[in-house]
Chain A
Amino acid sequence: MIISVASGKGGTGKTMVSTSLAASIKNNYNVQLLDADVEEPNSHIFLKPVFETSHAVSINVPVVNEDRCNHCGKCAEVCAFNAIAVVKDFVLTFPELCHGCGACSYLCPRRAINEAPNQIGTVETGKAGSISFVQGKLDIGQTMPTPVVRKVKELTSREHISIIDASPGTSCPVIAAIKDSDFCLLVTEPTPFGLNDLKLAVETVKQMGIPCGLILNRAGVGDSRVEEYCQKENIPILLTIPLDLNIARLYSKGTTLAEGLPQWQENFKEVFRKIREITGERNSST
């Protein structure tokens, strides 16, 4: 079973929820945590894994063979990302803008473009006690997280309960992270910003056909509009975490809620039970 954790708004508690959920059910299940927030992976701070492997993630970027090129400009014309330009007798490439689609090389009438791998990040694996740990890391200065997210996802294990910590927002890296999950946990806070971005996230998961439920974090900080929205949209609120100084302190020290306040383990186990119920119901009704 794959459970992804997303939010819309950033800083609402995805990592706290992902790591606490993993730590709460690790004694009962084989758990895998995949940190797909590759621009700033931070689940490792909480689960403290020992890394065993590290693999480079590359995308193929164009390399122009000047001997064959006649500067016709076709490559620049077909590049949707302006990653290649032809001016006078020069072909200029901008690997940091290239999405590795291969169109320039494929459509070059003179077969003058080869492709060469350009490293953009790494995927690391390891163990955090009994939890299998995977994280993607985008290299500094790189601007395309999605291929790294995809590589992280390739390591999703069907023998585990896989928990995927996604990045904030609803753009491509998030879509790549939550795609194919059985359930998406949306974490938000009861503020106008939290609600606005939650709506975007809900529309996204609905479009993708992924059932979702909400964890309301920092309850007490804002108003009741998130709850009203969830009621209207039939989104179950699976857990409410209050705005609490002790919880904030634990987080700032890199301790999961499950370890720092063990009474929360039962709450996260309950969340997991509800997720199983919802996904089970869904499978039997379809």
Chain B
Amino acid sequence: MKIAISASSPSLDSEVNPRFGRCDMFIIADPKSIDFEVVDNAGESAGGGAGISTAQMIAQKNVEVVITGNCGPNAHRVLSSAGIEIITGAEGTVRQVIEDYNNGKLSSSSGPNVSDHFGMGGGGGHCRGKGKAN
């Protein structure tokens, strides 16, 4: 099986990136063998709907579990539709998180744990008059 963990750098020692839709990259790993691949997240720079595009990309990778810090409603809807289990609130290194997962210390979340635009920085995504592409 494959699990995807949002990460900030391409190694198992990377900190878990707290953002799902706008994280830098994912480490997609087999939790038993710890074999992994790194997938860049094109959604990071999306104008809008980053969570949707990232979730779709992850779904195409045949991932069964996503582990991240925060996951908003749109990404949650896409991942759930793809039958992917979502674990939020993860912290620490990717290596640690995989270990915790293997030891059954992580539990899945049934709904989004943050509102939309949470990961856009500045405490909100509504940039009135700041060049939002409409």
Q: A: which residues have CB within 8 A of B?
A: 10, 39, 76, 80-83, 85-88, 90, 92, 94, 97, 99, 143-146, 167-174
Contact = CB atoms under 8 A, between A and B. Distances in A.
26 contacts: A76-B56, A80-B47, A81-B48, A82-B53, A83-B49, A83-B52, A85-B53, A85-B56, A86-B56, A87-B59, A87-B81, A88-B81, A94-B49, A94-B52, A97-B52, A97-B74, A167-B129, A168-B129, A169-B128, A170-B129, A171-B129, A171-B133, A171-B134, A172-B133, A173-B134, A174-B129
A172 B134 contact: yes
Given A88-B82, A90-B81, A94-B52, A171 B59 contact: no
Contacts of A86: 56
Contacts of B60: 87
B32 interface: no
B105 interface: no
A80 B128 CA distance: 20
Given A169-B131, A171-B129, 19 more contacts: A10-B128, A10-B129, A81-B47, A81-B49, A82-B46, A82-B50, A82-B52, A85-B52, A87-B59, A90-B81, A94-B49, A143-B126, A145-B134, A167-B128, A170-B131, A171-B132, A172-B132, A172-B134, A173-B134
Which of B49, B50, B77, B83 counts the most A-chain CB atoms under 10 A from its CB?
Answer: B49
Contact of B134 (A10, A82, A88, A99): A99
Interface string B66-108: 0000000010011001110000000000000000000000000
B30 to A, nearest CB: 21
What is the interface residue range for chain B against chain A? Answer: 20 to 34
A170 B128 CA distance: 10
Contacts of B133: 171-172
Contacts of B49: 81-83, 94, 97
Contacts of A85: 52-53, 55-56, 78
Nearest to A86: B56
A98 to B, nearest CB: 10
Interface string B27-70: 00000000000000001001111101101100110000000000
Contact of A144 (B46, B52, B134): B134
A88 B129 contact: no
B88 to A, nearest CB: 19
A99 B55 CA distance: 21
Contacts of B52: 82-83, 85, 92, 94, 97
Nearest to B51: A82
A174 B132 CA distance: 11
Contact of A168 (B48, B77, B126, B128): B128
Contacts of A145: 134
Given A83-B49, A94-B74, A169 B81 contact: no
Contacts of B129: 10, 167-171, 174
